[in-house]
Amino acid sequence: MRYSAYSIIKQALSGNRLWTPAWREPEPKPHYDVIIVGGGGHGLSTAYYLAKEFGITNIAVLEKGYIGSGNVGRNTTIIRSNYLLEGNIPFYEFSLKLWEGLEQDFNYNAMVSQRGVMMLAHSDGQRDAYARRGNAMRMHGVDAEMLDRKQLQALMPYLNYDHARFPILAGLLQKRGGTVRHDAVAWGYARGADMRGVDIIQHCEVSAIRRDEQGRVTGVETNKGFIGCNKLALATAGHSSETARMAGLELPIETHVLQAFVSEGIKPVVDHVIVYGAGHFYISQSDKGGLVFGADIDYYSSYAQRGNLATVEHTMEEGVSLIPGLSRGKVLRAWGGVMDMSMDGSPIIDRTPIDNLYLNAGWCYGGFKATPASGFCFAHLIAKNESHHVSRFLRLDRFERGHMIDEAGKGPQPNIH
């Protein structure tokens, strides 16, 4: 069923009784051309683009819970391509371009809202670093502007200019950055993939990866029985190490928990996505009125989707330091997402040393914005057995070769990326 204003009126006239499921609930077939493990944003978008762009439709997406139950349903909904390094900018810019046409493409309103992403600089050194980044973006044709303090005061008068411990000196603005309604991304891709014949199988947990005598992957054991495949694609960020271990692979990843928060609904006050440079705090306001924000990870390894109070308090300290007017607002809900923190802070979209096994992992806390490009590039890799040009640096073996993509310059300690 195609969605439109017309369909809404038509359905309303018949008491909204004739809407059909957004996706089927099929039983798994014995064999697929491609099995994607993980029904999150990246797994679903991979299926969608495989079907739509690369003509492969005999696909199953296996999800151990419900689709969108991982990080696509628990993030701060920010999209942007304001990266520094050659390995990242083209990829994230490709992603942003896909976001820009996504809703018409998959006929689902995910509320892509390009309200602008502002990164604030609080020292000369940071301003220079953002200038370097902004120029790197512009070199690649990505929009970037540097605003001075005066311009910021006009644009965001509610920031703490006069009583800040770390003064606000400048801001790097990417106007095309913004936010997206996160659940709708999973649902839109799921519906789009389903319409093209992809089997989305929820509550199907993979327990083992079966390989033949030559070591090639032939399928997966699940709680719904064995399902065969020609190609197996892992898109299980947060749990990548656990799924890769089934194939005997050890990954350059540690798992950590990142908390995020939403406030009670208030009338719109924050129009942009704002990133505090003197700490690590980012905030935007949803179309429903909730302030959506987050800060650092909890720093210890964790597979639990919950964090601790010290991190919560630290987040609020940074929030109120940046926007004093938040103080009398109230925080409604905190949640935790489980992150693949990679060794250089950048992701992996690559083949693996095991035949027929493909890997999409290591998204740290930047996976949401990458969802379209990640799916597109992963689909490209699976379909053609070669990297899409914008994801060619995101290799699994880059650490052995010494080609890290270290945006933060922190080295091989995953919890500080």
150 forms part of the interface with another protein (CB under 8 A): no
Name which of residues 18 to 77 contact another protein (CB under 8 A): 19-25, 65-66, 68-69, 73
Q: Does an H or E element contain 171, and which?
A: strand 170-174
Using the rule CB under 8 A, give the single segment among 42-50, 209-217, 218-226, 295-303 that binds another protein.
295-303
**Cβ at position 335, least distance to another protein in Å:** 5
> Which letter, b or e, does each residue of 65-83 get, where b requires 16 or more Cβ atoms within 10 Å of its Cβ?
eebbbbbbbbbbbbbbbbb
306 forms part of the interface with another protein (CB under 8 A): yes
What does the block give as tokens for 141?
């044709």
User: Which residues lie across from 118 on neighbouring strands?
Assistant: 173, 274
Q: Which is nearer to another protein, 172 or 381 (CB)?
A: 172
In angstroms, the CA 158 to CA 329 distance is: 14
223 forms part of the interface with another protein (CB under 8 A): no
| Binds another protein (CB under 8 A): choice among 30, 55, 150, 328 | 328
155 forms part of the interface with another protein (CB under 8 A): no
Q: Could you tell me if 140 and 93 are in contact, meaning their C-beta atoms sit under 8 angstroms apart? A: yes
184 forms part of the interface with another protein (CB under 8 A): yes
What does the block give as tokens for 262?
């939403």
**Cβ at position 122, least distance to another protein in Å:** 8
139 forms part of the interface with another protein (CB under 8 A): yes
| Binds another protein (CB under 8 A): choice among 130, 189, 358, 393 | 130
Name which of residues 244 to 263 contact another protein (CB under 8 A): 250-255, 263
161 forms part of the interface with another protein (CB under 8 A): no
What does the block give as tokens for 25?
């609930």
Q: In what order do the strands lie in the sheet with 117-121?
A: 145-148, 170-174, 117-121, 273-276, 281-285, 290-301
Q: Which is nearer to another protein, 222 or 284 (CB)?
A: 284
Q: Could you tell me if 168 and 159 are in contact, meaning their C-beta atoms sit under 8 angstroms apart? A: yes
318 forms part of the interface with another protein (CB under 8 A): yes
Amino acid identity for residue 6 in this structure: Y
214 forms part of the interface with another protein (CB under 8 A): no
How many residues are there in the chain? 417
If DSSP codes are grouped into helix, strand and coil, which group holds residue 112? coil
| Binds another protein (CB under 8 A): choice among 319, 337, 362, 366 | 319
347 forms part of the interface with another protein (CB under 8 A): no
154 forms part of the interface with another protein (CB under 8 A): no
Residue with tokens 């491609």: 34
